Chain A
């Protein structure tokens, strides 16, 4: 056993796969300690908040102020508030005014503003320009002037008696607060999803659920396949024919179709994560059964099995001690692949809306389903689905890598 483990951990493929998988597992365990709470809590009101650090504006106005005079602060402020559309419109204006803009860089805010100040005149009425467009330019100009002009913002409160606004404090352009002194700062590394949930927290929780679903599905499939394969292979005769008949029926009916039908007939309310996992397991045991059977058939006439029979051992004991250990490495490899395909099957099912019910736990497939339903892929909210795809890919990559590594250790024809 010790020797086998040492051999297994000498395989670089297995080690890489194992490390990736262990890292995912560790994240699953550690992250909820650092960021506790329900992963399905809707913290955001809007949909799809971008990834980043969110600072409470209310708390920031109350935080101690430091004055910093930064020379490029104005430019940055203007640059941030000038949208791409505004910039294009400005270039359009220059073209109308017949100014050469061939060497103007549109993202160079300074140059753009300098040119604007020089050439914009609200009184000019270019030929063919609509009133609306002219007003747009006026508004743009006013906004730019305001950004450069006004130095302070006033925070006011309504007086309880008179209802008039009473100035409470002023914020100047040179006022800065240290982020660590602001009471509420929320880091959303992957933003929020369509329901306003923290995607990263949801993802970590979903990964855990999906791996659990994979493990349950893999265990169910391997147990059924192993039991039937061992029985069919060792007992032979009528038992073998009967079991192989059932197995062949399950093989010719595509497993996924069966999975869809069972999931659909169970209904949304019955489909907990465990139920879905068991259903996946029940539809994917066939090839384990077939390959275990063929391995057992080649083992059952070996002399050590005959010797065990002659020692008066029972069928169960012979199967467990004289046959199972010889195919154990193969079964472990099959189990790993079953886990991987279980996770993928859950993702496929959920994407079709036949996954576990949505109110209890998130799964990777459900996250994809939500992202798709709220068209995250068309409105550019990559953070709602891309990390999920990446996680699924990483999990099945690591599991398959582990399987290949084990194959190289245990399969003599692949050994180098």
Chain B
């Protein structure tokens, strides 16, 4: 894997930011606050991780960032301006700038469509609908070889004929074709085995270096977040309890929750500290 070089992004131009963003499901007694009035600033080219346990609101937040869910309150700013996705055309324009990789590769693809369709859709979205067929195939081959897949072997196949790792790499190939400004990766490695995980992370980093996109990486694994990100946001019960440069947050955690998350990571050469688990149950 390529060595991560951490840069300071504090002064880089803003790419996506939120002010008082909240999502509340249900009404009355059944009210659940999934995302609890959070603020955030993601900069251009930054690799941001949002870390939190299951149910902390990470995925809800990511859906709101993608525009698949409407926030109950607050404002999301895209490149410094309030985001406007009120019409289909504006949404389409917005999605040219922000794309996602989902957690479960097995359910991310339409099983009735061939792989070619998935990749061709990306070319069409970038305005390449009228390109000659050879050019399209060349682009798809390039995208596939970027993620170590052979287009010749994939063409005319259905997504379910691939392994989970291959599907997730195909997802990255899709992003490679689309070249969005922001990539939202929602636990892209949690459903694939450890070997594929390293490959996929490596590819994400390469993609970031190549296109200069902002990556918002959502994970429950703080070790992984430390390893790859520039900035880390720690999320607990819908709130960001701590955020900052990865080194600062992980080496000198201030919030209780961050400390617990760090101690929960199993280490190979030490005994696993389970004392915090009791604390949780108490």
List residues of A whose CB falls within 8 A of some B CB.
302-304, 306-315, 321-322, 325-326
Contact = CB atoms under 8 A, between A and B. Distances in A.
A321 B107 contact: no
Contacts of B111: 304
Nearest to A315: B88
B92 A304 contact: no
A306 B125 contact: no
Given A312-B92, A312-B125, A307 B112 contact: no
A308 B102 CA distance: 12
B108 A311 contact: no
A325 B111 CA distance: 9
Nearest to B96: A312
B110 A306 contact: no
B95 A312 contact: yes
A321 B112 contact: yes
A337 B197 CA distance: 48
A310 B66 contact: yes
A306 B122 contact: no
Contacts of A322: 110
A311 B121 contact: yes
Contacts of A303: 102-104, 107-108
A306 B68 contact: yes
A248 B122 CA distance: 42
Contacts of A307: 100, 102, 108-110
Contacts of A313: 121
B102 A306 contact: yes
A315 B122 CA distance: 17
B90 to A, nearest CB: 11
User: Which applies to chain A's interface (DSSP): helix, strand, loop or mixed?
Assistant: helix
A309 to B, nearest CB: 7
B108 A304 contact: yes
B95 A302 contact: no
**Residue among B109, B111, B112, B125 facing the most chain A CB atoms (10 A cut-off):** B112
Interface string B106-121: 0111111100000001
A310 B99 contact: yes
B204 to A, nearest CB: 17
A332 to B, nearest CB: 15
A321 B112 CA distance: 8
Given A303-B107, A304-B108, A314-B88, A309 B68 contact: yes
B109 A304 contact: yes
A309 B110 CA distance: 12
A321 to B, nearest CB: 7
Given A312-B125, A314-B88, A302 B107 contact: yes
A310 B107 contact: no
Nearest to A307: B108
B125 A304 contact: no
A306 B100 contact: yes
Given A310-B100, A311-B95, 9 more contacts: A304-B107, A306-B100, A307-B108, A307-B110, A308-B110, A309-B95, A312-B121, A325-B112, A326-B112
A307 B171 CA distance: 10
The 3 A-B residue pairs whose C-beta atoms are closest, nearest first, are A325-B112, A312-B92, A303-B102
Query: Interface centre among B92, B103, B111, by most A CB within 10 Å?
Result: B92
Nearest to A310: B95
Contacts of B108: 303-304, 307
A321 B125 contact: no
Contacts of B95: 309-312
Interface centre among A308, A310, A325, by most chain B C-beta atoms within 10 angstroms, is A310
A261 B114 CA distance: 50
A321 B100 contact: no
A311 B110 contact: no
Contacts of A326: 112
A303 B68 CA distance: 11
Nearest to B159: A304
Nearest to A318: B110
Contacts of B68: 306, 309
A315 B100 CA distance: 19
Contacts of B110: 304, 307-308, 321-322, 325
A311 B126 CA distance: 10
A313 B109 CA distance: 14
B124 to A, nearest CB: 8
A307 B96 CA distance: 13
A311 B124 CA distance: 9
Contacts of B112: 321, 325-326
Nearest to A305: B110
A306 B110 CA distance: 10
Nearest to A323: B110
A303 B99 CA distance: 13
Contacts of B103: 303
Contacts of B91: 309, 312
A143 B210 CA distance: 114
A308 B99 CA distance: 11
Contacts of A310: 66, 95, 99-100
A314 B102 CA distance: 21
Residue of A303, A313, A314, A321 most packed against chain B (CB within 10 A): A303
Nearest to B98: A310
A402 to B, nearest CB: 23
7 contacts: A302-B107, A304-B109, A306-B102, A308-B110, A309-B68, A312-B92, A312-B95
